[in-house]
Structure 1
Amino acid sequence: MKRTIIALSCVLLAGPALAQSVGEKTGVNSAIGVAPTTADFVKEVAISDMFEIQSNKLAEQKGNAQEKSFAQQMVTDHTKTSSDLKGLVSSGKVQATLPAELDSSHQSKLDKLNKASGKDFSSDFESYQVSAHKDAVSLFERYAKGGDNSELKDWAGKTLPTLRHHLEMAQELGKGPSVGQSRK
């Protein structure tokens, strides 16, 4: 255990660009609360949005009534955040490359959802949505607090309340018909 901590410390201290990429990829940054680099943040957000849009389009077709309602909201909201992010990158305010496709982890989840139906679909979909939104909230919180691009940092902070609401909605999937209704 001590060697693992020492090894991780060495990797994290090796250089900021390397530390962020390795740390973000392995989940170390999230565990210790380190902000991702701008490049990592943009990549993770873009992949997350692609996964949300594609998985929720499946839910619009295959899901129960509650999942369909949730899915419509997710497709709308994640299409907007994806568009916002593309706008920041294309304007030159954010120097990063947008990925063109899902990473292997998200693609395998999407493939599993494609093959599933009924209760299996619901179980996987609900689990993925909670997990994805927990990850997104963590990513956006960390970047909003310590990101290195002021425009992107501001956008992350403004987007956080919506993502927190998405997480609450995802956690309610399978519990009753209240998904999608606003809370006061």
Structure 2
Amino acid sequence: MTSINSRSRTLGGLVFVSLIAACGVAGPTVAQSVGEKTGANSVLGVSPTTEDFVLQAAQSDMFEIQSSQLASEKGGDKVKDFAVKMIEAHKTTSGQLKTAASGKNAKLTIPTEVSSSQKSMLDDLNGRSGDDLADQYVDDQVSAHKDAVSLFERYAEGGENPELKAWAAKTLPDLKHHLEMAQSLDK
């Protein structure tokens, strides 16, 4: 009996350790919490951690800029003006985020690449042109801005870093306006 209990505890412990490692809790290479990565925090209205907020806000800006550059070059007149506005607006917010994230209360690392899913979306856009690119770009913009509005709302409401929290609240109206503009292109 002792042998079976001992093996069960060992096996149970191995399963537990494996689950923790699989969730990314055990290693320092975790880029994003499980709640943010799966979207559970957004659905539940849970504020992201400061690290998650900075990661997602920076990646969102990079995606907006890169996808808008493609749209302004290959997407045609339907989206060109909007794309140029998005490039300028998100270059501005990228600079503001870098300043806020490097402030005396933060010292956070800004990512230098979009997420793997955003990379796939950019690759997809790059393979398109004209109205086909414009239609997909608009769909991507609506989705990306909905995500950004949720992220900024949640951080502005319950964020940990006062400077970033204030910046999120200040930036939120512009993101909501971008979402409205993207939705109007979708009609």
Instruction: Report the TM-score, using the length of structure 2 for normalisation.
Output: 0.81
For 1:81 and 1:90, locate their aligned partners in 2 and report how far apart those are by CA, in whole Å: 14
The match for 2:135 is 123
Q: Hey, what does 1:142 align to over in structure 2?
A: 154
Unaligned segments of structure 2, at least 5 residues: 1-19
The Cα shift of 1:112 comes to: 0.5
CA RMSD of aligned residues (A): 1.7
SS in 2 for 1:46: helix
Q: Which residue of 2 aligns with 1:26?
A: 38
For residue 80 of structure 1, what is the amino acid of its counterpart? T
Look up the SS of the partner of 1:95 in the other structure: coil
The answer (yes or no) to whether the contact 2:139–2:186 under 8 Å persists in 1 is: no
Structure-2 separation of matches of 1:150 and 1:91: 11
Deviations 1:48-80 (A, max 9, x none): 000000000111111222300001110010000
Deviation at 1:120, TM superposition (A): 1.9
1:81 pairs, out of 93, 114, 117, with: 93
State the partner residue of 2:122: 110
Structure with the greater alpha carbon radius of gyration: 2
Question: Once the two structures are superposed, what CA deviation does each residue of 1:77-123 show, in whole Å capped at 9, x if it has no partner?
Answer: 00000000111123333232111111110000000000111232122
Paired AA for residue 105 in structure 1? S
Asked if the contact 1:53/1:74 (under 8 Å) is kept, the reply is yes
Conserved? CA contact 1:55–1:113, under 8 Å:
yes
Alpha-carbon distance between aligned partners in 1 of 2:93 and 2:138, rounded to the nearest angstrom: 21
Whether the 8 Å contact between 2:68 and 2:83 is mirrored in structure 1 is yes
Aligned residue in 2 for 1:99: 111
**What residue in structure 2 maps to residue 63 of structure 1?**
75
Residue 152 (str. 1) matches residue 176 (str. 2): no
Q: Which amino acid aligns with 1:130?
A: V
Displacement over 4 Å in runs of 4+? none
Partner of residue 65 from structure 2, selected from 53, 61, 64: 53
Structure 1 unaligned runs (5+)?
1-10, 176-184
Contact 1:39 1:95 in 2 (8 A): no
> Which AA in structure 1 matches 2:183?
Q
Tell me the CA shift for residue 174 of structure 1: 4.2
Question: Number of residues paired by the alignment?
Answer: 159
Instruction: Using structure 1 for the length normalisation, give the TM-score.
Output: 0.82
- Determine if the alignment matches structure 1 residue 132 to structure 2 residue 179: no
1:29-64 deviations in Å (ceiling 9; x for gaps): 000000000000000000000000000011111122
CA contact (8 A) 2:102 2:108 kept: no
- Taking every aligned residue pair, what percent have the same amino acid on both sides? 58
Cα deviation, 1:151-170, whole Å, max 9, x if unaligned, reads 10000000000000000000
